Chain A
Amino acid sequence: MKKVFWVTLFLFAASCVACTHTGGTSKPTAYSFTIDIPAGWRKIDRPYLLVTKDSPFLQNIMVQNRFIGKSFRYTKKKMQREMLPEEAAQIIIDEYASDQNIGNLKVLNNTPAEINGHDGFKILLTYMGPKGNEFHTLYYGFIKADTFFNLRFTAGGRQYFQKDIETFKRMLNSFQIIKANKS
């Protein structure tokens, strides 16, 4: 139980997490996208869309639209609107690689990807959290105007990753931008 507590803290920092059960299509007006949340997954109240089936430290899917000028936590590099997908991917890899809480980071895959008709990237990472737990993250991202969209699936270990990867792909396929930022 303590392990769950610490890993959850690692994933989401120490703050209040309120959970509500949801399903169907999420169309929050604050987001410039819509996406289908699979039945049985619950939404966690965060500034970005975060859903989980069992527990966030076992598996979670995060979808975020962030201003390209917003700073990352570790790297000082910033997204730029004219960046190529592979340049954006490199920043994400650099951010993970510079995270003091992550060890043994491995980039298993880094390729171009199309997300809802937008040219982007796909990265598959494995790494170790500070409690020694292994994580797998599949990270999709693309830049549209002033917005960096990213969709990522993180699972604690290979077993949970394999179990829910198809769910994530279905969710990814349902992703649609409903409002582009000013260009």
Chain B
Amino acid sequence: MIIRLSKFFFFLPGLLLLALSTGCSTPSEPVVSDMLLTNGDEQLLWQKAEEEQRVQESSDLIYQDEKLEAYLNNVAAKLQPQTAPAGLSIRVKVIRNAYLNAFAYPNGMIYIHTGLLARMDNEAQLAAVLAHEITHCTRRHALRAFRHFKDRRSFLTGVQQALMADIGFTGPLAAVSGYARELEAEADRVGTELMTRAGYNPQDALSLFDHMISAIEQEGSEEPFFFGSRARVRERIDNLQNRPDDRYPHQRPAIKNSDLFLAKLGHLFLDNARLDIRLGRFQAARRGVEKFLRIEPDNTRAHFLLGESYRQQGQDSDIQKALKYYNRAIILDPNFAAPHKALGLIHYKKGQRALAKKFFESCLQLSPNASDNAYIKGYLRQFTSSEEG
């Protein structure tokens, strides 16, 4: 399917990136209770948002899990303010992307990456991110940023920056890289109020942000997204810690729903772990799989992915760990072909031909039509010719 994007695809991100520049004044605050779509520019923003959402949803980026989506929307519904602009409908969808991000379109559509969800441990942390994004919508931050910057001559610079921002398909119109500091601080402040009102303790979000900073440091590079930037995450922590007025009332037990959260995310942990393995982020992949194993300790695919994370890491000391997980996967499901192939590769590289042959043959038997079988057949042909020779 051919998807055509308008030139606006590159337009607003440039403006929003410009909003990050230091020294910009606080965008004027619109009246929150205004009816939406009464102004030309807001109408334009919504149209462009819808265009971009159509692009997102016609690609393979949307993570398809109706039950998960229903759960996320249920949490979002609990967080919605009573003073939301009329006509604004908050909806949440998941994007298949291992980078740490969530972003909101002005029309209330919130996208959250699998990578960010996989870093969370409980519903309170999810609520913190959703409340922040909901506030961007209800306080019309996109419109405020747009009005603030639309007349600037730096428009072309913005377009160039957007091109170089490496944001690709993932939410170009939305504030993928964040709004001006004042708007983000407002999203934090109002977001914590929404969380508290819904029965979550905003302090529970701190551990998520701490994890995220550790992850960013561990990976050694920052991502081109709001929640993938150490400085931006640090701002979230500071804003949470510096608001003693928002302390959660001790007499009221706060909602965490850790078990429910893990159960609802379920296979997302594994799907995202696979993306992390593709990116070579093996530790992050293992953390996700280990969370899933708390729900399903005997899941074959989970053990296989742990094996993959160690084998592909490529260190000699990791191979023993990989062998352990692949063997466990085969015990759990002898008909799952992938660990047979992986074991064949390990033994082949070690020069253990008999073992390699055994696993390659069982792999071919279990998955005779796999797309990469030509490699296995090639290894087996080598064995045959060397035996004949």
Q: Mark A residues whose CB is within 8 Å of B.
A: 2, 6, 9, 13-14, 74-78, 80, 82, 84-87, 94, 97-105, 107, 109-112, 128, 130-134
Given A82-B349, A100-B168, 20 more contacts at CB 8 Å? A13-B164, A14-B163, A76-B219, A77-B312, A84-B375, A86-B345, A86-B375, A98-B279, A100-B169, A101-B166, A102-B169, A104-B1, A110-B374, A111-B372, A130-B5, A130-B168, A130-B169, A132-B2, A132-B4, A132-B5
A138 to chain B, nearest CB (A): 16
Interface string of B1-20 (1 = CB under 8 A from A): 11111010110000000000
Q: Report chain B residues within 8 Å CB of A102.
A: 168-169
Contact for B278 among A97, A103, A131, A132, CB less than 8 A: A97
A131 to chain B, nearest CB (A): 6
Rounded to whole angstroms, the CA-CA distance of A63 and B37 in the bound complex is 52
Q: Report chain A residues within 8 Å CB of B59.
A: 103-104, 128
Contact for B160 among A14, A74, A76, A99, CB less than 8 A: A14
B169, A14: Cβ atoms closer than 8 Å: no
Q: Does B371 contact A (CB under 8 A)?
A: yes
Known: A2-B7, A109-B371, A110-B372. A101 touches B169 (CB 8 A): yes
Query: Which residues in chain B, 334-350, are within 8 Å of chain A measured between CB atoms?
Result: 345, 348-349
Please name the residue on chain A nearest to B379 by beta carbon: A84
A131, B4: Cβ atoms closer than 8 Å: yes
B371, A85: Cβ atoms closer than 8 Å: no
Contact for A100 among B10, B164, B167, B281, CB less than 8 A: B167
Rounded to whole angstroms, the CA-CA distance of A87 and B349 in the bound complex is 11
Rounded to whole angstroms, the CA-CA distance of A134 and B279 in the bound complex is 23
Please name the residue on chain A nearest to B165 by beta carbon: A100
A77, B7: Cβ atoms closer than 8 Å: no
Known: A100-B169, A102-B168, A103-B60. A77 touches B5 (CB 8 A): no
Which of A2, A14, A75, A103 is packed against the most chain B CB atoms within 10 Å? A103
How many CB-defined contacts (below 8 Å) exist between A and B? 89
Interface string of B54-80 (1 = CB under 8 A from A): 010001110000000000000000000
B371, A103: Cβ atoms closer than 8 Å: no
Rounded to whole angstroms, the CA-CA distance of A94 and B278 in the bound complex is 5
Please name the residue on chain B nearest to A133 by beta carbon: B2
Please name the residue on chain B nearest to A119 by beta carbon: B378
Q: Does B30 contact A (CB under 8 A)?
A: no
Q: Does B280 contact A (CB under 8 A)?
A: yes
A100, B371: Cβ atoms closer than 8 Å: no
B168, A85: Cβ atoms closer than 8 Å: no
Rounded to whole angstroms, the CA-CA distance of A132 and B375 in the bound complex is 33
Rounded to whole angstroms, the CA-CA distance of A84 and B382 in the bound complex is 14
Q: Report chain A residues within 8 Å CB of B61.
A: 103
A130, B9: Cβ atoms closer than 8 Å: yes
A9 to chain B, nearest CB (A): 6
A-B residue pairs, 8 tightest by C-beta = A100-B168, A76-B280, A132-B3, A77-B280, A101-B168, A94-B278, A111-B374, A103-B59
Rounded to whole angstroms, the CA-CA distance of A109 and B312 in the bound complex is 21
Please name the residue on chain A nearest to B167 by beta carbon: A100
Q: Report chain B residues within 8 Å CB of A6.
A: 7, 10
Rounded to whole angstroms, the CA-CA distance of A75 and B60 in the bound complex is 20
B17 to chain A, nearest CB (A): 15
Q: Report chain B residues within 8 Å CB of A101.
A: 166, 168-169
Contact for B375 among A76, A80, A111, CB less than 8 A: A111
5 A–B contacts from the bound complex (CB under 8 Å): A76-B281, A77-B312, A84-B349, A111-B374, A132-B3
